[in-house]
Amino acid sequence: MIGSRNSERIATAIFYLIALLVSVLLAALIGYILYQGLPVINWHFLTAAPLPYQAGGGIGPEIFNSLMLLVLTMALTVPLGLGVGIYLSEYAREGRITRAIRICIESLASMPSIVIGIFGLMLFVVIFKWGFSVISGVMALTALNLPVMTRLAEDAIKNVSPDLREASLALGATQWQTITDVVLVAAIPGLVTGIILSAGRVFGEAAALLYTAGTTTSALNFTDLNPLSNNSPFYLLRPAETLAVHIWQVNSEGLNPDATQIANGASAVLVIMVLIFNLVSRWAGNWLFSKKTGQ
């Protein structure tokens, strides 16, 4: 008995040590990025356009492009991924076809992003003739994130206690009412985690966007809000370099005299955007869960 207790204490101490080590490494990484990048950030840097071959440019268009791609990609990824997750967990019967679908989803989820980029280049840029554009980048990111969102949504729904389903059905609710009013509500924490992970890939993705959204961005005229106008920032057929792509390009080409400062500042902004999105998503998920459950 004493040996078992000692073993349990040792194992607990090891797990705490591992968690502490990971937390310290993560905090050190984020702290280093912010330490290097925060002195560069100011209003001009956040709003001005980049200046090729010159110092003093900003990242304003890249911030807008990143947010625009995020919103459009998640608007496609979340409903589609949730719908497939509901089908696989609630309606699909176990069999060869269902197992084959899961294998395909898991294979696509582990697909290198550069392969998705080449696929997007051939299909959206060349065959559909959308060119290097917002819509090409959105479709490539959707293809990249959809398998991940589907798998996480299926797992979150499956983890809901069967007792909740049985109680709802026993009270006379239909299967669809049980799914929408009971199962999905109980699965909100897991679904929020899936959304955060998918959004993080959108913010940080560069390889897939190099071949679809492009490495340049057109001038953004916010006085023209017509999405069919070539000068509008909401025009879907314009090139849209994101923050992640801009960081890669600045570091790889090094044509700007202040390339290091630009990369440091853009990296800090990207980290801050991801942190803010994660915090807001968690808060919104907890608020929605509390509102639906009354807790």
pLDDT per residue over 51-84, tens digit each?
A: 888 888 889 999 999 999 999 999 999 999 999 9
Residue 84 lies in a domain: yes
DSSP state of 217: B
| Count: domains in the chain | 1
Six-digit token string for 5: 């207790």
Which of 234, 231, 47, 244 is closest to 141 using CA atoms? 244
pLDDT at 212: 95
In a domain, 2, yes or no: no
pLDDT band, very low/low/confident/very high, at 197 (cuts 50, 70, 90): confident
Q: Is the sign of the CA dihedral 113, 118, 121, 123 positive or negative?
A: negative
CA–CA gap between residue 196 and residue 277 (Å, rounded)? 8
Which residue type is seen at 28?
Answer: A
Residue 19 lies in a domain: no
65 within domain boundaries: yes
Residue 245: its pLDDT value, please?
Answer: 93
Q: What's the pLDDT at 30?
A: 92
Q: Does residue 72 lie within any of the structural domains?
A: yes
* Cα 117 from Cα 206, distance rounded (Å): 9
CATH code for the domain of 265: 1.10.3720.10
